[in-house]
Structure 1
C-alpha cells in the first residue's frame, strides 16, 4: 500500500515513517512550514526522506500560519514548562493545524496515486489537541472519502491513535529509527530544553518503553520532578 506520511520531523512521525519503510509501504514524506518557532524540526523530516530514499515535499503554509494566531508555537508567547496538562499546554494549540495539513496531504496523495495518508497522532495528545482524537480522524476519513469520490480512493492510516508515546518508541526501536535524528522540543534551541511538555513527554516515553534515550537535553533531570508534580496534582 503506497502511503504518504505527514511528518514534522518529530519522534512520533519519523518513527512511523521508519515503520512504514520497513513494511515497504512508504511512498513520500510531506512536511509543512507554518511559521512554527521550532521549524528546525523540518530539517529532521528532510533527513528522514533522504535516509529512507523517498521524495520530500515541503509545503509553505506560512501565510496560513500567520493568521492562526494565539499559539505559543507560532507567536511570541512563552512555551510552558512541565508535564502535559490541559491548563498549561492549551496555549500550544494551533487551531485546525492537523485538519489543514491532512487536507493538503490527501490532495498530494491523490494526485500522486497513493493509497493512504499516514499521521502519527497518538493517545497522549487526545485531551489537549482536538484534531488528534479518534472522533476527528474517523470523521476526517469519511469527509475525504466524499471529497475524492470518483477520483481517488485514499485511506487515512492512524496506527498510533489509541497508543501511548511509549508504544511509539517501542515501535520505532523495532524499525531501527535513529531517535537522535528527530526533534520534539517546542522551544527550538540548540538542544532539547528538557523542560517543556513535549520534552518531558519524550523523556518519559523512553523511560516507560525501556529504551535508551539518545537525546541531549539542556536540563536532563527536570522530567522526573515534573512527572512527580503532575501525578501529585
Structure 2
C-alpha cells in the first residue's frame, strides 16, 4: 500500500512513519506550516524523512491559519499547563485543523498515485479534539471517496484512533523509532517544558508503556501531579 504520512515531527506521527515504512510502502511525508507557535517540530519531521529516505513536503498554510484565531497554538494566548483531560486544554484547539490538512494530503496522494494517507490521531485526543475522533475520520474518508470518485481511490489509515499514546510508544519502540528525535512541546523552548498538555501526555505515555523516555524536561516531575488521577487506558 503506497502511503503518505502526515508528519508533524511529534512522537505520534514519527512513530507512525516508522511503522508504515516497516509494514507498507512509505512514499513520502507531508507537513504543514499553519502559523503555529513554533516551527521546531517541522525540523524533526524533516529529519524523519531523511532517515527513512522519502520526500518531505511542507505545505504553507499560514494564510489559512491566520483566520483560525483564538487558539493557544496560533495566537498570543498562553499555553495552559496540565493534562488533556482538563477543560483548560480546549484553548489548544485549532478549528478544523485536521480536516484542512487531510483534505490537502488526500489531494496530494491522489495526484501522486498513493493509495492511502496515514495520520496518527489516537484515543487520547478524543476528549479535546473533535477532528481526531473515529466518527470524524470515518465520515471524512467517506467524503473523500465521493470527492475523488472516478479519479483515485485513497483510503485513510488511522491505526491508533482507538488506541492510547502509550500504545504508540510501544509500537514506536518495536519499530526502533528514535524518540529523542521527536518534538512534542507546544512551547518550543530549548527543552520540553514538561508542563503543557502534550508534554504531560508524552511523559505519561512512556511511563505506562514501560519504555525509557529519552526526553529532557525542564520540569520532569510536574506530570506526577497532573496525572495523579489517571490510570492507563
TM-score after normalising by structure 2: 0.97
Q: In structure 1, the residue corresponding to 2:59 is in which secondary structure?
A: strand
Partner of 2:188: 188
1: CA distance, partners of 2:130 / 2:76: 23
User: 2-side partners of 1:38 and 1:79: how far apart?
Assistant: 12
Mark the runs of 5 or more structure 1 residues left unpaired by the alignment: none
Please state how far the C-alpha of 1:102 moved relative to its aligned partner.
Answer: 0.2
| Structure 1 position 25, deviation (Å) | 2.0
User: Contact conserved, 2:126 with 2:133, CA < 8 A, in 1?
Assistant: yes
Alpha-carbon distance, 1:39 to partner: 1.6
Deviation at 1:170, TM superposition (A): 0.2
After superposition, what is the alpha-carbon deviation per residue over 1:90-144, rounded to whole angstroms, capped at 9, x for unaligned? Answer: 0000000000000000000000000000000000000100000000000000000
CA distance in 2, matches of 1:194, 1:86: 16
Cα RMSD of the aligned pairs, angstroms, is 1.0
C-alpha separation between the residues in 1 aligned to 2:229 and 2:126? Answer: 21
- Alpha-carbon distance in structure 1 between the residues aligned to 2:82 and 2:164: 18
Q: How many residues align?
A: 231
Which residue is 1:96 aligned to?
A: 96
Which residue in 1 is equivalent to 2:179?
179
Q: Distance in 2 between matches of 1:79 and 1:182?
A: 20
Q: CA contact under 8 A between 1:38 and 1:185: conserved in structure 2?
A: no
1:32 aligns with 2:32: yes
- Classify the secondary structure of the residue corresponding to 1:107: helix
SS for the counterpart of 1:58 is: strand
**Which aligned pairs between 1:139-178 and structure 2 lie closer than 5 A?**
139-178=139-178
Deviation at 1:150, TM superposition (A): 0.2
Matches of 1:116 and 1:165, distance apart in 2? 22
Contact 2:121/2:161 (8 A) holds in 1: yes
